Amino acid sequence: MRKNPIILPYDGYFNSGQLVDDVYRDLSNPIIAKLVSFVKINDATFSDAMPAPTLVAKIWKIIESLNLEKQVGVFLDLKSADTSGTMKNIANHFSTSRQGILTVRSNLSGKGYMEVRRMLPNVKIALVSFLTDNSEQDCLDQYGLFPEEKILHDMRIVQRKYDRVSQLDDQEFAFDMIVSSPLESFYVHRNEKHIFKRRFEKVTPGIRDDWMAKGQQSRIAGVAKAMKDGSDYVVMGSQMRKGNPDKGISAEESQKRTALEIEKVLTRGEV
């Protein structure tokens, strides 16, 4: 687990310029800058005001202007899944951008993963299996599996699909990272090494400490538990940028509490 494990998401922006301004403001905050590894953009990539590669470039200029380029990267959270040809075209749009992580859905074909690998060789692919605003019962109803079983199952299947075409590619694995809620990270962390003989980095949304409102996520836990259970990166927006005014918790207070939770876990060596 990194000392700066937080992925800071920017969702719900219709004005790309405002997003860029907010990124600058947040990364200028020393508490946030010390804890953040990636700035994550998602729905803002569909804004008509600024093409997504341009948005990535503008965020990078901010990162460089604040001398954070060795610590902070850009996370492109597209959760893409399409035909291999379309995936090649999508990846090609970002081939000159400087994103560090790209999310890809598990139903992409093996060739689709290969095309993304080829077009974006320096980007980490994060596998998305089951979205965190779905409940455990939703997963059981749809797949007959618990979420942690579904994630591990999809890891196997994606790698199997990729292996069928891997003789055409130099990459040994289809993906580098796993997206899982804090309730699945420990199960995946415990079992993946037996299957793949390696450990994949974990990206964990659904982080809500007890001073925060639950929000849209269904499967949640606090940052300390997520870290102890094997998460390498934790996605938290409101907890870092807004706090919980309804409970009298300012953004600054929430940042300090979060930093303390992270420091306690790292100091105790529980990761």
Q: What average pLDDT score do residues 217-222 get?
A: 72
- CA nearest neighbour of 234 among 265, 202, 200, 204: 204
Q: 115-156 pLDDT, tens per residue?
A: 999 999 999 999 999 998 888 999 999 999 999 999 999 999
pTM > 0.85: yes or no: yes
Q: What pLDDT sits at residue 2? A: 65
Q: What pLDDT sits at residue 268? A: 73
Q: What pLDDT sits at residue 111? A: 95
| Residue 266: CB atoms within 10 Å | 16
**98 compared with 213, residue with greater pLDDT:** 98
Q: What pLDDT sits at residue 267? A: 81
Q: 51-64 pLDDT, tens per residue?
A: 999 999 999 999 99
Angle between helices 110-119 and 147-165 (to 10 degrees): 70
Q: 3-32 pLDDT, tens per residue?
A: 789 999 999 998 899 999 999 999 999 999
Residue 220 predicted with pLDDT over 80: no
Q: Where are the domains of the chain?
A: 6-268
Distance from C-alpha of 41 to C-alpha of 151, rounded to nearest angstrom = 23
State in words which class domain 6-268 has. Answer: alpha beta
